[in-house]
């Protein structure tokens, strides 16, 4: 009778263990498409067998093991960061390129129109209509500089706002991770749903900024930047903040826009710890590409170099010209750029308000030799002679715009490559961690058959036990 009861108990234990294993496989099937979910495997353990001390063996539930592969996860995070950076650069550089027209309109067309008007003036140096055409072309040229500089500045402002928005997203995600860590510490250490949320959140975060993840023994995750700045430790979140970088030593213009920077909760600048992700791409364009065009506290920028050189060179020629014999020009054609603010030359370029069409000098007197159309001839020569970096004004602008175009092409190539690499890394992770529905279906059938067999054994043993009881007087 005792042996029969022990067998019945063992069979009942097997029922529980097989139901447990069946539930794990069914859970895998239900979550096959859940982001961040890693396949779980139920283990079954033999109960100890020693009849002398009342241990009759059986089957019991063992621990659940998941297939989480940290190497596969890190490969996905790395490629997600590369894709985030390339995408951010691609979008920002496209906006900048749209602000730098080359083939038609913008500064190149305005330069051509200006020099064409000057050429026509040289043929009729005393004609009031040709003089007015030069003034009108000069005004259009300044407007093109103003519009282009303002367009790039607007892109800069948008990127600065995007940087702030990205930092807010990062802080939201790290706050979620801290809450999930708290759930793990509260008893959800082996909860596959919580684990899926953690790793799904980590993948999203890695697309925004490079992260280092260190799983802890209690099931929580510790997250830092590459340089060690903590983002999540246990239930504690460490927020980042977007702001402005400290000014450099001896800035060329203290009032120029500072670089964007990222700070930790202690106020330390952690910008150099950001090496990939959307935030990195935004910072690169904001702090490198845009200053090369419109300047910052360390450089005037190509557009301002062009505006300053053009204004000063044209003014030098015009201011030495004569309206008539003995009547020298009162001023230059353009308002003189402010040397104290070299980064604003393009944005503020304007025709000198004291210059008029009638006051535009055409006569050039050099060494006693008077040339009636010497000023327009000298101005027209600027169109084809090197002026900055051994190239013409038009070529200098073209080089600056082409540099943006090359970087945009590179960003597009990087984005395509990173997208492909990310898909490959995700596929490899799926192979290592994902749910094979066919394999799980086989397991379900096996566990169901085992459960049915154990249930039949329980029923048979119960019948035998009852029969023995009925035989007793």
Q: For residue range 265-317, list pLDDT tens digits in order.
A: 999 999 999 999 999 999 999 999 999 999 999 999 999 999 999 999 999 99
In the numeric block, the tokens 């903590």 are attached to 230
Residue 181 in tokens = 């860590």
CA 113/CA 107 separation, integer angstroms: 10
Q: Quick check: helix, strand or coil at residue 62?
A: strand
410: pLDDT strictly greater than 60: yes
412: pLDDT strictly greater than 90: yes
Mean pLDDT of 93-113: 91
Q: Which residues are registered as beta bridge partners of 207? A: none
pLDDT of residue 52: 59
Percent over 70 (pLDDT), the chain:
77
pLDDT of residue 388: 95
Of 179, 174, 151, residue with least CA distance to 95:
151
- CA 377 to chain CA centroid, Å, is 50
pLDDT of residue 194: 87
Residue 185 in tokens = 């510490």
Q: Tens of pLDDT along 22-40?
A: 666 666 566 666 666 765 6
For 231, residues 6+ apart whose C-beta sits below 8 A from its C-beta are: 170, 174, 177, 211, 223, 224, 225, 237, 238, 240
pTM for the whole thing?
0.85
pLDDT of residue 49: 61
pLDDT of residue 435: 62
Mean pLDDT of 400-426: 96
Q: Quick check: helix, strand or coil at residue 231?
A: strand
Residue 445 in tokens = 């059938």
For 353, residues 6+ apart whose C-beta sits below 8 A from its C-beta are: 335
Q: 423-457 in b/e burial notation, b at 16+ Cβ within 10 A? A: eebbeebeebbbbeeeebeebbeebeebbeebeeb
Task: Supply the mean pLDDT for the chain.
Answer: 87
CA 401/CA 391 separation, integer angstroms: 14
Of 141, 217, 204, 220, residue with least CA distance to 171:
204
Helices (H), 124-272: 128-183, 192-208
Q: Tens of pLDDT along 223-268?
A: 999 889 999 999 999 999 999 999 999 899 988 999 999 999 999 9
CA 373/CA 192 separation, integer angstroms: 85
Of 213, 286, 298, residue with least CA distance to 252:
298
Of 179, 181, 170, residue with least CA distance to 273:
170
pLDDT of residue 171: 98
Residue 258 contacts residue 296 (beta carbons within 8 Å): yes
């Amino acid at each position: 009778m005792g042996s029969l009861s022990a067998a019945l108990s063992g069979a009942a234990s097997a029922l529980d263990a097989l139901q447990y294993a069946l539930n794990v496989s069914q859970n895998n099937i239900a979550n096959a498409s859940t982001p961040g979910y890693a396949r779980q495997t139920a283990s079954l353990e033999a109960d100890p067998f020693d009849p002398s001390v009342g241990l009759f063996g059986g089957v019991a539930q063992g621990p659940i093991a998941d297939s989480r592969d940290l190497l596969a996860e890190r490969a996905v995070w790395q490629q997600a960061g590369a894709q985030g950076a390339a995408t951010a650069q691609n979008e920002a550089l496209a906006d900048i390129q749209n602000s730098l027209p080359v083939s038609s309109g913008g500064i190149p067309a305005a330069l051509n129109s200006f020099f064409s008007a000057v050429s026509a003036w040289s043929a009729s140096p005393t004609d009031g209509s040709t003089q007015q055409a030069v003034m009108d072309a000069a005004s259009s040229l300044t407007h093109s500089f103003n519009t282009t500089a303002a367009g790039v500045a607007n892109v800069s402002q948008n990127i600065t706002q995007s940087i702030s928005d990205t930092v807010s997203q990062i802080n939201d995600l790290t706050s979620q991770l801290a809450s999930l860590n708290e759930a793990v510490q509260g008893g959800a250490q082996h909860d596959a749903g919580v684990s899926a949320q953690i790793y799904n959140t980590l993948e999203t975060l890695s697309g925004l900024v490079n992260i280092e993840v260190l799983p802890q023994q209690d099931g929580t995750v510790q997250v830092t930047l590459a340089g060690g700045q903590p983002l999540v430790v246990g239930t504690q979140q460490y927020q980042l903040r977007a702001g402005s970088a400290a000014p450099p030593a001896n800035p060329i213009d203290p009032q120029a826009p500072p670089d964007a920077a990222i700070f930790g909760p202690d106020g330390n600048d952690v910008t150099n710890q950001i090496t990939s992700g959307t935030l990195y791409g935004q910072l690169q364009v904001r702090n490198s590409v845009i200053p090369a065009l419109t300047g910052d506290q360390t450089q005037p920028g190509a557009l301002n170099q062009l505006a300053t050189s053009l204004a000063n060179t044209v003014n030098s020629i015009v201011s030495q010209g004569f309206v008539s014999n003995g009547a020298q020009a009162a001023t230059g054609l353009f308002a003189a750029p402010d040397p104290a603010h070299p980064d604003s030359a393009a944005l503020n370029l304007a025709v000198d308000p004291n210059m008029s069409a009638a006051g535009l000098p055409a006569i050039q007197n050099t060494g006693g030799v008077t040339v009636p159309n010497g000023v327009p001839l000298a101005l027209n020569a600027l169109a084809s002679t090197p002026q900055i970096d051994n190239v013409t004004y038009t070529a200098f602008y073209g080089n600056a715009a082409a540099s943006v175009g090359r970087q945009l092409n590179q960003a597009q190539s990087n984005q395509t490559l990173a997208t492909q690499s990310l898909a490959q890394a995700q596929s490899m992770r799926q192979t290592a961690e994902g749910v094979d529905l066919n394999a799980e279906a086989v397991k379900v059938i096996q566990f169901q058959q085992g459960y049915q067999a154990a249930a039949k054994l329980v029923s048979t043993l119960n019948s035998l036990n009852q029969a023995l009881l009925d035989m007793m007087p």
